[in-house]
Structure 1
């Protein structure tokens, strides 16, 4: 009976390690395809706002997939828009070149009737004292021609709440880009993409672009680790079985 249990444990653990390695390889293949898709989108002509709205509506149709493939990240967009107000919004817990800080945003409108859009101004370093927020001069409320690329964030199943902190005469600090919750707070519809413009007026802040947080090469490396662990585990269990047999 103990031998049967030993063999079962060996097969289950070995199979699990191999399965994890195969899953990492499948993710690597997907990331390679996703990278090719992003390159194609970057080479296309910029869309106008109406075309982007049409893409957003198409992306809401049932596809059976909630992965990166359903995102609109990487499309180029050109809009004529103006800030809704003078409020600066800061996305918390961002890292750029080893420095902790925020991504700064301002909400823009194309027309009063259409959904507003969140526009990224760039990265700003955080103060060591979290009570002190960066003071950025908001863009003047007038029309600007903005062009750049859009991105969407995947929903984090463990933490997707907006968790906005509002204080008088201070930027709004929030924890996640949850456009539905942000629209509720603003009491106006919001398109579920963020524009990262190449031509932010009066600003020269860094604009991090990490559409693929984990590269295909990283997944391939992890797959090799899982396969190595599977081989080592199988070798160890075979050695133990051989020792028991000799006894």
Structure 2
């Protein structure tokens, strides 16, 4: 383990609108807000962030030219009621889905899935990351986050740890990777990974196959994983 998965962050031109959508849909509570960033938390402390991106180009799933890059899966106790509520809040039904899950787009265009489960209320289940090869990317994040690979099979893989948000990797043929900060190839999502000492952590993530990207601040630096998805080391 190099760092801890701190926050899953979604890009949006409308911070308050998108944060409000997920707060209402999943019972998330606002923890922090300013003009560039809103942070929500679940009851168990899972953090979902919203980053202002005025030039955001939304996904057009399943169009491979406008990929989703990542998506959230939410467990729900009543699929029909949850879908109805999501649409009332501004979601749009998308093609796909099955007996146990429904695919929708949030108001910023990010796809997400509602998954039927034995739960009392809507709950975040995982974040899923698109890639061409799931196994190698799962092992990269396993080393980065200290989550074991708990499933690997045809078309995907998963890393998970008790009490933490699981991370799923799904294979997409000819995945069109982000080229951050180029808005024509948007990241859509990114992960913030908290480290104790960035100078100690950086050589380790680079050795795993990450790439340093432009951009840093007082307590963050930007990298890309081996599939091209940006992530930040924060401290």
TM over 0.5, shorter chain: no
Bigger share in strand: 2
Larger relative contact order (C-alpha < 8 A, sep ≥ 6)?
Answer: 1
Please state which band the TM-score falls in when normalised by the shorter chain. Answer: under 0.3
Bigger share in helix: 1
